[in-house]
Amino acid sequence: MKVDLGRLFFRYYLKNKRLSNSRIDMDQVDTILFFSNTAIGDTLFATPALNLIKKYYPNKRIIALLNPKNYKLFETNPYIDDILLFNGKWRGFITILYKLRNINIDVSLIMNGNEPQATPLAYCVGSKYIIRAPNINNEFNYLHYNKPIKKDFSKNTIYTRLKQLECIGITEESYKMEIFPKHDWRNPVKKILEKDKFKYIGIQVGASTPSRMWVDAKWISLAKKILEHDESIKIVLTGSPSEEGITQTIERGVNNSRLLNLAGKFNICSAAALLEALDLLITPDTGPLHVAAALKTPTIAISVAGVASSSNPIDKKVPHVFIDKPKTCTPCIDKRCKNAFCMDQISVNEVFLNAIKLL
C-alpha cells in the first residue's frame, strides 16, 4: 500500500493550527491568492468570480495559481494581475511554496485545487484567511474561514465559486464565463475555415473519462446525417493531440471531404479560437464544452454520468442544449466507469434534430 508521506506530515503539523475567524476587513487586504489549478472547465467556472472581485476591489492584487497545462488560455484575462503555475501535486509543492512565501498573501480563495496540497499550501505561505467551498469533507477545513459547506448539485458549479465571495463582502451573482482571445490565436484558424462559404459544426468526440463518451458508430452516423442534410455545412473534428486516434476512426468512418479532422492541429489557444469560429459544437460534458460557451459558441452537450444542473453552461445569452438521460446504474460510479452503455439512450436523431434547430 502506497503511503502519502506529505499528507501524514501535514495532518500532524497542522492539527493544532487555527486561523482568525473575525470579519475580514477588505480595507486591510492587499493581495488575494486565487487557486484554480485543475482542469480547464474548473477554471472557467471561476472566471465570473474573478470579474466580480476586480469590479468591487479594483486595487487588490490578484495572483492566480493555475495549471501549467492550460494557463495560456487565461494569460489575457484582465482581472488577473499575476500568474504562478502549480500542478497541484507534491512534486513542485516546495518550489511554489518558496515563490509565494516572498509575497504577502492576505486571503486565499481555493476555487479548485487538489487536496491534501491546496489548504496546507495556503496556510504555509502565510495566508491570513483561507476560504474554500465546498469543504464539508475536507480534512483541513478547520483552517478555512468559512464553515463547512457541502456541494449543492442542484445548482451550477459557478454558484459554489460565488459563495466564497460572500466572505469578502460580494453578494452579486454572475454566470458569464470568459476567455479573452488575442488576434494571433485566430490566424491559424482563418487559414483553414471558409466562413464566407460554409457553416461549421464541431464534433468533440473525446472526453476526460470513458464514462462521458458516446460510441464511435453514433458519431459517424450523426456526421453523415448532418452532411447529407445540408451541403453548406462542414464538420470539424476537434480535440487534443491525445485524441487524434479516435478522431481518425470517425474520419475514416464518415469518409467525406466536407469533414475536417483538426484534432491536435493547433496549440491550446488556437484550439480555443477554432471553437470560437464554429457555428455549433456538439460535445460530451468536457472542457471544450465550457471553452465554447465562454467564447459564445452555441453548444449541444450529451451526458448521462454527469450532473446537468451542476455542469451545464447557463449563460442565457448563449444558445445551449444539454441532452441528459436517466442513470441506468445505482449507484453511478461516473468517472470509474469503463463501459458507459447508459450513453446509448441518447439517439442520433435526437442530437441531429437539436443541431438543425440551433443552426
The amino acid at 64: A
Q: Is residue 174 part of a domain?
A: no
Task: Give the structural domain span for 243.
Answer: 183-358
Q: Which residue's C-alpha cell is 442565457? A: 316
Q: In this model, does residue 315 exceed pLDDT 90?
A: no
pLDDT, averaged across the chain: 94
Grid cell listed for 327 = 442513470
Amino acid identity for residue 94 in this structure: I
Are 210 and 151 found together in one domain? no
Phi/psi of residue 201, each to 5°? -105, 120
Question: What pLDDT shows up at residue 267?
Answer: 97
**Residues facing 203 on adjacent strands:** 237, 282
- List pLDDT tens digits, range 195-217: 999 999 999 998 888 778 899 99
* pLDDT, average across residues 336-358: 88
112-152 pLDDT, tens digit per residue, is: 999 999 999 999 999 999 999 999 999 999 999 999 999 88
Report the pLDDT value the prediction gives residue 78, as an integer from 0 to 100.
98
Q: Which of 9-13, 22-26, 327-331 has the lowest mean pLDDT?
A: 327-331
User: Could you tell me what percent of the chain has a pLDDT over 70?
Assistant: 100
Res. 308: pLDDT tops 70: yes
User: How many domains is the chain built from?
Assistant: 2
Bond before 331 cis per omega within 30 degrees: yes
pTM of the model: 0.93
Q: Which amino acid is at 248?
A: Q
Looking at the fold, whether 149 and 280 belong to one and the same domain comes out as no
Q: Is the peptide bond before 241 cis (omega within 30 degrees of 0)?
A: no
Identify whether residues 257 and 122 lie together within a single domain.
Answer: no
Q: How large is the average pLDDT for residues 90-113?
A: 96
In the chain, the DSSP E strands lie at 31-36, 61-66, 82-85, 107-112, 129-132, 199-204, 233-238, 259-261, 280-284, 299-303, 320-324
- Beta bridge partners, 68, equal none
If asked whether residues 89 and 157 sit together in one domain, one would say: yes
Give the sign of the dihedral formed by CA 266, CA 269, CA 275, CA 276.
Answer: negative
Give the pLDDT confidence of 21-76 residue by residue, as tens digits. Answer: 999 999 999 999 999 999 999 999 999 999 999 999 999 999 999 999 999 999 99
**144 within some domain:** yes
131 and 235 share one domain: no
Band (pLDDT 50/70/90 cuts) for residue 303 is confident
Specify burial of residue 16 (Cβ count, 10 A radius: 0-12, 13-18, 19+): exposed
Whether the bond into 78 is cis, omega within 30 of 0: no
Residue 35 β-bridge partners? 65, 110
Q: Does 123 share its domain with 216?
A: no
Measured CA to CA in angstroms, residue 134 lies from 108, 137, 264, 282 at distances of 15, 8, 34, 30
Domain co-membership, 149 together with 27: yes
- Is 271 within 8 Å of 202 (Cβ atoms)? no
Q: Are residues 162 and 209 in the same domain?
A: no
How much is the pLDDT for 1? 61
Number of CB atoms found within 10 A of residue 345's CB: 15
Count CA atoms within 13 Å of residue 282 on its CB side: 27
Predicted local distance difference test score (pLDDT) of residue 54: 98
The pLDDT value given to residue 254:
97
Share of the chain above pLDDT 90, in %: 82
Lowest mean pLDDT segment, chosen from 15-24, 247-256, 336-345: 336-345
For 172, the grid coordinates are: 452579486
Statement to judge: residues 244 and 141 lie in one domain: no
139 and 205 share one domain: no
Backbone Cα Rg of the chain: 22
C-alpha cell at 29: 487586504
* Residue for grid cell 496540497: 117
Domain co-membership, 124 together with 196: no
- pLDDT tens per residue across span 144-193: 999 999 988 889 999 999 999 999 999 999 999 999 999 999 999 999 99
Cα–Cα distance for residue pair 110/144, rounded to 1 Å = 10
Does one domain contain both 164 and 271? Answer: no
- pLDDT of 88: 95
- Would 210 be classed as within a structural domain? yes
**CATH number for the domain that contains residue 313:** 3.40.50.2000
Average of pLDDT values for 7-24? 95
